Structure 1
């Protein structure tokens, strides 16, 4: 738990991204500020319309507040998660007393079985533990809302949703969505926002506490499956919970992040909607979860990806949660963007890009599944063969790369490498599952692609691998993934030299441990402006240092990255290297994947 400045301190009128915690039920998620404001919630699920989006527009975005009525009287704030859960505890101390607020999207026991478990309600329980506190609750929605009810229950319609707000005692003004109530030590009030059909079961503070206790226990039961002991175990477990919050239990899909359009640079145009399933991001998530014992989520995603990726003739790089291609990307004319960073985008135009790494990402997931003892029937085998054939047909053709440039396609080294991974993993799957007549072909293709990649991506003059084939002088941080995907040996001197070059040329600041993905001046991406440092790349750097035997440097870098988590252990997509502020969508699955994977690598290679 950390003490934070008064809630009234903002930047450009906005709270900092890092001053929030994430709660969720696997179907949707909400961001809870340290000041008791819920500033993000999409309904009825991750990719639905945002009812609350005040992070994207402080006046028109909509939010649900619950905090002391007099902001100026707040003297300290604390926020934490209940251990191994997605239940938050926020404590606000004022001149007159202290209030504790527990928040959660409630779940039932089906959550442990990885089934659909969402109850469809958000429960808030406020208890004054000392003195007396006048609480104020307000609710506004993106684009405005209509309310109908009284001071005990209100039906609210806005942003494509109808929700019902109920309270366990009369709150004067609630009918107008601006209620106040004074509580003294020992008194509580529960507030329930429900969007599922049917009435809530929470009719008293005791009911609310019971629902929150059940939800916490369900999370703890699930977390018993986490298999990791070692340094920063608390952050590894928090990262696992965070990735689980991005998991969609109804079918196994995994969202890249639960938010949209939080900017990669303040005032820039690099604002993207991440509330969808990127095959690449989800594949990395599967790898991280499997490494710490969470195989059910990993297997669920493989089922989802194989069922969906071949239904549309070729695998797309991202899908809706239902496994369908996305509609067009649109810009919202009504929202100003976080700290005045337009445009606010819904949907993602990268959905139609060609990115050849997707074949290898899926086949690597499948190989993990088979290696762990999973059985592969003939239907699934044919789907994997189809992916291998696409890699075989396309590995020499340009694409838009792992970073999804909005410019002319190029022969990215990482994309070629992942086509090699596709062929290699298919040969291994064939051999392991007894389909031996396929082994030789895919092994030969794997060797062919690797040999050509090593020849055309490596520059003899500089002694390093390049971002593109046949184009000396360019670098990007995806090169750090080559040994992680076993394309290049982890102790290959060429890889060690490349790692040093990336660390020097793509460093975001001096001795920060932060890296840019690439330099826009050297590798044009079709967009204006800059972006922050990309956290996953720094974790890849850790893994490369471990692989080259530089364990102490790797541990020191990892420790410095862990020190960058916010007060509840969450990480964004990017960090501003000049101000250390969080940037991009938050929390970001990629960053927590990196933390888990690096932690596991360090523990497995720790000198004994």
Structure 2
């Protein structure tokens, strides 16, 4: 495998298993700032929540092959596949080749003249290349994780599909036949050299449905290509691993919720981190941590609207629910609901299938550091805080002075409350940044307490969390176990000297498998390798002066992505199989920031 960022990559079609589930590596993502569709190599859309990415999946065969619903589109005979993204866009092209000819399908979640459309519009353009190919398509809404029952409703303008409050209509161009059943609409096309056809889907929720002409939906593909190309025209980056960085940035843009400015952690819920234990979570929410890492990259690339949108969303959300920041919020800035469990099979039988996330109720001290890192970065790039935000941050800094002494769940959201090393360092980073902001006149008040508490935390970590026997910072005092998240504090600047360098060696020795790192001691027995940790290690090696090692590791990691450059949360080091939700913001963010760090060091 290699990065197929903007050039066609030949690959065989993955066989689905007997239950109808595709391999996770087979998926490409398209998005419109509102929702994300996952398309397998066989042309089937197995995941599409509507109208927003955190809504129930009206097309959710990814988690329920029988009743979840999907949008099928492929030749009606055996085929091979070549696919790639249109250069500098999130528009996907798939070329199917059969014994009778070849056909190209171009998939887009369309945008409008002024940006995001006020309805959802999926366009699947079909172009005949050679010979004559019969193409079959089916639009089969599902049960939204067994909560509703879809039906076909006949109107004066043709059939529409209804799923709870959703109304969906199929638009076709140059179809041979369109038929409807009680829960689906089927379409067939026959291509010839130079022919053009369309399978389109438009949808709204609890509002009237606008029915665009099929020709307008088809033209929307070209407009969407132009819009993505124009956006990437503002992207400024030349450096190592340029194709991977560009593709990751485009995938990250899909994960930004356009209406609010928040960034979703991943497009999916309940894809397993392990095939032997139940470790399935809903990641369709906005973690403060991810926003912090995202801004580092977005500022470096000269992207203005996204950076301001993200910080405005975050600060207004913290102010609304604070003053103490939560770990995670909903995309619209609300509170995340408690986890509930759905009665569906899960991907390849992996359960539970979850909606909601209980991490929102946890104490994680790292969130204090993430918040202040975001604000500090915003100010460093020449921006100014408003007075109300300054007062809010002063209050949060005071809270940090007290809260750092508490046990918490740690970065990995564990049930055991402990004095985790990196949690304390999150508080240290918050207070260090608060002092810098006060010195810059951005945050009011007397910062003497923040200075003294930051110094106290540093001393506490140095005295209690360093193990001379292990030659490493340990997971928590009294333990001889290791935690890969310590590498973030080479990045934060806490330690880039001999102790941190020695810790990196210990991590690679105990937590490493090939180029990959597991999250903490013992994790390899119960889950895949966490991709973000591996890319964070690249940054940490660089900042500890080990640039040649960092570049070599980064080169190895470039083989991880699938044929269109997508990364999941985890990977099975033995097989290369993806594990966990995807596309995963943290994995792509860690890749991008590693590339930036190496580039700046060289």
TM-score (norm 2): 0.93
Aligned to 2:212: 201
Aligned to 1:330: 340
Alpha-carbon distance change, 34 to 152 in structure 1, aligned in 2, over 3 angstroms: farther
Matches of 1:173 and 1:150 in 2, distance apart?
Answer: 15
Matches of 1:8 and 1:457 in 2, distance apart?
Answer: 49
Matches of 2:170 and 2:276 in 1, distance apart?
Answer: 35
Aligned to 1:106: 110
| Of 36, 39, 54, the match for 1:29 | 36
Matches of 1:151 and 1:475 in 2, distance apart?
Answer: 66
Aligned to 2:515: 513
Q: Deviations over 1:248-287 (max 9, x none)?
A: 1212111001111111112531111111111112221122
* C-alpha displacement of 1:357: 1.0
Deviates more, 1:157-166 or 1:299-308: 157-166
Q: Deviations over 1:422-473 (max 9, x none)?
A: 11111111111265753433223222211222211112333311111x2230
SS at match of 1:310: helix
Matches of 1:374 and 1:17 in 2, distance apart?
Answer: 41
Aligned to 1:460: 468
Matches of 1:9 and 1:332 in 2, distance apart?
Answer: 23
Deviates more, 1:183-192 or 1:85-94: 183-192
Matches of 1:478 and 1:505 in 2, distance apart?
Answer: 14
Aligned to 1:541: 537
* C-alpha displacement of 1:550: 2.0
Aligned to 2:76: 69
Aligned to 1:559: 555
Q: Is the 8 A contact 1:98 1:130 kept in 2?
A: yes
Matches of 1:61 and 1:147 in 2, distance apart?
Answer: 16
Which structure 2 residues correspond to residues 101-250 of structure 1 after superposition, within 5 A? 101-111=105-115, 119-143=119-143, 144-149=149-154, 153-158=158-163, 160-176=165-181, 177-196=185-204, 197-204=208-215, 207-250=216-259
Matches of 2:447 and 2:405 in 1, distance apart?
Answer: 22
Aligned to 1:475: 482
* C-alpha displacement of 1:478: 0.4
Q: Is the 8 A contact 1:543 1:554 kept in 2?
A: yes
Asked if 1:409 corresponds to 2:417, the answer is: yes
Matches of 1:52 and 1:242 in 2, distance apart?
Answer: 20
| Of 381, 397, 404, the match for 1:388 | 397
* C-alpha displacement of 1:130: 0.9
Q: Is the 8 A contact 2:471 2:506 kept in 1?
A: no
Which structure 2 residues correspond to residues 285-324 of structure 1 after superposition, within 5 A? 285-313=294-322, 314-324=324-334
Q: Deviations over 1:149-176 (max 9, x none)?
A: 4999531122652211121234424323
Q: Is the 8 A contact 2:16 2:23 kept in 1?
A: no
Aligned to 1:525: none
Q: Is the 8 A contact 1:93 1:99 kept in 2?
A: yes
Aligned to 2:59: 52
Matches of 2:416 and 2:25 in 1, distance apart?
Answer: 35
Q: Is the 8 A contact 1:331 1:345 kept in 2?
A: yes
Unmatched segments (≥5 aa) in structure 2: 1-7, 144-148
Matches of 2:592 and 2:175 in 1, distance apart?
Answer: 46
Alpha-carbon distance change, 437 to 157 in structure 1, aligned in 2, over 3 angstroms: closer
Q: Deviations over 1:173-231 (max 9, x none)?
A: 43232222322222221121111344343433xx4442111111111111122221012
Aligned to 2:408: 399
Alpha-carbon distance change, 484 to 151 in structure 1, aligned in 2, over 3 angstroms: farther
Q: Is the 8 A contact 1:152 1:170 kept in 2?
A: no
Q: Is the 8 A contact 2:174 2:196 kept in 1?
A: no
Deviates more, 1:87-96 or 1:295-304: 295-304
* C-alpha displacement of 1:15: 1.1
* C-alpha displacement of 1:381: 0.5
Aligned to 2:430: 422
Equivalent residue pairs, number: 583
Matches of 1:382 and 1:154 in 2, distance apart?
Answer: 56
Q: Is the 8 A contact 2:167 2:209 kept in 1?
A: no
Q: Is the 8 A contact 2:175 2:190 kept in 1?
A: no
* C-alpha displacement of 1:8: 4.0
Q: Is the 8 A contact 1:235 1:569 kept in 2?
A: yes
Asked if 1:572 corresponds to 2:572, the answer is: no
* C-alpha displacement of 1:594: 0.9
Aligned to 2:4: none
Matches of 2:423 and 2:352 in 1, distance apart?
Answer: 29
Matches of 1:227 and 1:252 in 2, distance apart?
Answer: 21
Q: Is the 8 A contact 1:150 1:174 kept in 2?
A: no
Q: Deviations over 1:26-81 (max 9, x none)?
A: 111101111111010111101111011111121121110111123xx21x101110
| Of 449, 459, 465, the match for 1:441 | 449
Unmatched segments (≥5 aa) in structure 1: 523-528
* C-alpha displacement of 1:363: 0.8
Q: Is the 8 A contact 2:390 2:442 kept in 1?
A: no
Deviates more, 1:427-436 or 1:260-269: 427-436
Aligned to 1:550: 546
Asked if 1:43 corresponds to 2:39, the answer is: no
Q: Is the 8 A contact 1:328 1:349 kept in 2?
A: yes
* C-alpha displacement of 1:348: 1.0
SS at match of 1:339: helix
